[in-house]
Amino acid sequence: MKYTIVVCDHIHEAGLEMLKNDESINFVMAADVDKTELVEKIIPTADVAITRSSTDVDEKFIKNAKNLKAIVRAGVGVDNVDIPGCSKEGIIVMNVPTANTIAAVELTMTHMLSCMRMFPYSHDHLKNQRIWKREKWYGYEMKGKKLGVIGFGNIGSRVAKRAKAFEMDIVAYDPYIHPSKVTDLDMTYTKNFEDILACDIITIHTPKNKETIGMIGEAEFAKMKDGVVVINCARGGLYDEEALYNNLTNGKIRFAGIDVFNKEPAIDHPLLDLDNVTVSPHLGANTFESQYNIGTQAANNAIEAAKGIAYPHAMNLPIDESKIPSFVKPFLEMGQKIGFLESQMNKSQIISIKVSGYGEIGEYVDSLSTFVAVGAMSQSSGDTINYVNADFIAKEKGITIESENCGASSVYKNLITIKLTTAEGTTTISATIFDDNIQRIVAIDGFDIEVALRGDMVMFKNTDVPGVIGSVGTTLANNNVNISDFSLSRNAKGEALAVILVDEAVNETTLNELANLEACINVSYARI
């Protein structure tokens, strides 16, 4: 079966190559197609669409998206996507929130340094006006200054860490995080927004929504100290722009660094007339590295969504992400992948799914079971399964879904175990997430084994006798299948399990040859 992925706007060539090279994907490049033609003639054929800011996912788009199961917004912002409208039609909306993180962080630091040292203006004075006047350009040091960070997520927290290296004092405001995320870094966490307004420099790193639009206006500027420096490299309109202009002209704000505007392109904006503003034309994601990351991550997310493997960074999930710790979401995505994996290992009618959580993740097993069910049933339900209807479809198919909070784990801080029972048998996989969100299987059907959760996987169970590894390796080699990783485990019953990651898809002929090896008990193959 082939899945159609439509690329509506330009992304990095590396992402396009990923789509072109996947044999299960019908890739349609429509970035240069007229938008009316795109919506009316191409989008109706799409299983997944990749968009950027040039394509509005509005009522007309959604109405024509008759087969669409997911949209990937190649970037952070989803301002141009009607998420409630997509949810109503069962379309999952995903973004790529971390691909341009470093680019945005470094641009924020660029504006901060430029404001403190008035660098663009001294540069212009010398280079363009050919005036050497050192006494005109006395700036301020960042060391010892108090930096207020509004929003302590992927970008805000990294800005704070870099500012800490400049020996600044950091005060962070973010009601949606645990204070320890700030205090563990030897920074100050506050629930009182006026603590932010008292800082020497203020930088904002929040999404743009009803709560944050214009969150700093005349009243907030009035409470700031004279000579404050403000930075916005997040979203346009978080500072009330009229109030920002007024306070830059009356001297309350000494300098501002602005990368984003309420309406773009902002070529006639009043802020451009001021000589105490550094500006850039929305360059937060404009590095070669970030464009590569955005393109490849968007392509990978689209492929996983098309195949029903996972929906990374979905925006319209059946949970309120503001109410769950940040460590939970990677477990949800991993749980869905394991459900998908087990359904391939044990290809038969699903009877039951049991999800157990050990450690803090145990408190979220109900949400986790929904994700596991989507992964497990995507093999049989295809396009009809999503987070909203998973429980209903399970009941319709007579599948029992059970979740269990098991308390603390004796070995891992957090561990999930997923038991999938079908008409032909049971498969049980345990997995955890190590530092830096590295997903790892740690047990399969009672065998303790550490395996990366990715790629093409051959599971080979055999009697524990000499020569098996050589026979398996020779069989794969004879079929031009290259091994990238080989993990082995043994049990007390005289059995062994090998999980083999390979570079190519494995066909039925190769699997049959492996199954016919004398020591083989069973063999299965899965593609994540």
Please list the active-site residues: 235, 264, 282
Strand partners, 81: 57
For 280, the 3-state DSSP assignment is coil
Are 427 and 445 contacting, i.e. CB atoms less than 8 angstroms apart? yes
Alpha-carbon span 464 to 428, nearest angstrom: 21
Q: Is the dihedral of CA 432, 87, 14, 339 positive or negative?
A: positive
DSSP structure string for 412-434: -SEEEEEEEEETTEEEEEEEEEE
Give yes or no for a contact between 452 and 371, defined as CB atoms under 8 angstroms apart: no
Calpha distance 489→459 (Å, rounded): 11
Q: What is the rounded distance in angstroms from the CA atom of residue 263 to the CA atom of residue 213?
A: 13
99: its two tokens:
């691909």
Closest by alpha carbon to 160, among 131, 117, 190? 190
The contacts of residue 32 (CB under 8 Å, 6+ apart) are: none
The residues near 199 (Cβ < 8 Å, ≥ 6 apart) are: 146, 147, 148, 171, 225, 228
CA-wise closest residue to 374 among 426, 347, 431, 334: 334
Neighbours of 309 (CB within 10 A): 20
SS3 387: coil
Alpha helices, DSSP H, located in 198-315? 218-223, 241-249, 288-307
What CA–CA distance (Å, rounded) separates 230 from 74?
28
Q: How far apart are CA 26 and CA 149, in angstroms?
A: 44
User: Among positive and negative, which fits the CA dihedral 357, 360, 363, 369?
Assistant: negative
CA distances for 344 relative to 31, 171, 393, 419, 430, angstroms: 35, 49, 19, 13, 16
